[in-house]
Structure 1
Amino acid sequence: MSKCPFCMIATHELPSEIIHEDEHVVAFMDVNPIADGHVLVIPRRHAENLHAIDPEDLQRVVVTAKRIAAVVQSELRPDGINLFQANGRGAGQTVFHLHMHVLPRSIDDGMPMSWDHKPGDRARIAEVAGILRGALARSETGIDMAEPVA
């Protein structure tokens, strides 16, 4: 099995343009940028995705992404910024080490990040809401939510 490329960046085994690092988090330029200033923020400690990351590491990633986004906004002046994080192949995750994209956007960049807003089936929305409310209530009473519930 090959070593995780983001773990290799975090340990300086793989070259990258690191813009911030501390004992818990590393932020570096994406080598396949969608726009100037496209930065990835990762936890140093390997976690495959949102379901596997320690809550404190996740908090550090999000706080660092917020800080990076503020610097990107002030220095590069994009029209907006997306914070993007994918979990699993179906969501477009290609490197299986949790990472958050800080993605500067311009109004005319041509990159779709929206979908058609069509009214949903109210009965189905209510049914799914009930399922999720139940799972959240169970998680408050001791169910380990580190793994997705089937």
Structure 2
Amino acid sequence: MNSGAYDSDNIFAKILRGEIPAQKVYEDNSTLVIMDVMPQAEGHVLVIPKAASRNILDADPATLGPLIAVVQKIAIAAQEAFDADGVTIMQFNEAPAGQSVFHLHFHVIPRREGVPLRPHSGKMEDGSVLAANAAKIRQALAG
């Protein structure tokens, strides 16, 4: 059961409309990929559909195919860009499950053996670090 309606004033909707800046990594007709401003590991990105969806529970199934294809593409590039041992992909649905921004999104986080995730603390990463990390992923995407 979905707990609420889509709020077009959520931060990701504002980023998609260009009202709030974000460090963009990749964009196509249906998807935007940005650096997470409170990364839990180096290279943590968010894959966001352009279609308005509160979460996976209310998303149009036609949105999900292209979205998950981009999640895979970004996961491969992020793993390469950060010489990671693996990649954690997370997606939360409703507040009790950990969702805090109510626009469908996937977290893609490069991981190294033995290195725990940092807490999602509210401490924002320096913009120059995010820009450099975004460039690394874009370079891996370019081949």
- Structure 2-normalised TM-score? 0.73
CA–CA distance in structure 2, aligned partners of residues 68 and 55 of structure 1: 20
- Is the Cα contact below 8 Å between 1:61 and 1:100 reproduced in 2? no
Deviation of the 1:105 alpha carbon = 1.0
Aligned to 1:19: 25
Partner residue of 2:129? none
Distance in 2 between residues matched to 1:101 and 1:43, nearest whole Å: 12
Query: Can you give the 5+ residue segments of structure 1 that lack an aligned partner in the other structure?
Result: 113-150
Show the counterpart of 1:34: 40
Query: Structure 1 residue 9: deviation in Å?
Result: 1.1
Contact 2:54–2:103 (CA under 8 A) maintained in structure 1: yes
Residue of structure 1 equivalent to 2:89: 83
- Name the amino acid aligned to 2:32: V
Residue 99 of structure 1 aligns with which residue? 105
Shift of 1:32: 0.6
If you compute each CA radius of gyration, which structure gives the higher value, 1 or 2? 1
Q: Residue 24 and residue 2 in structure 1: after superposition, are their counterparts in 2 closer, same or farther (change >3 A)?
A: closer
Partner of 2:34, secondary structure, is: strand
**What is the DSSP-based 3-state SS (H/G/I as helix, E as strand, rest coil) of the residue aligned with 1:59?**
helix
Unaligned runs of 5+ in 2: 1-6, 119-143
Aligned residues: CA RMSD: 1.6
Question: How many residues are matched?
Answer: 112
TM-score (norm 1): 0.70
> Where does residue 119 of structure 1 map in the other structure?
none
Is the contact between residue 10 and residue 44 of structure 1 (CA under 8 Å) also seen in structure 2?
A: yes
1:73 match: secondary structure = helix
Using CA pairs under 8 Å that are at least 6 residues apart, name the structure with larger relative contact order, 1 or 2.
2
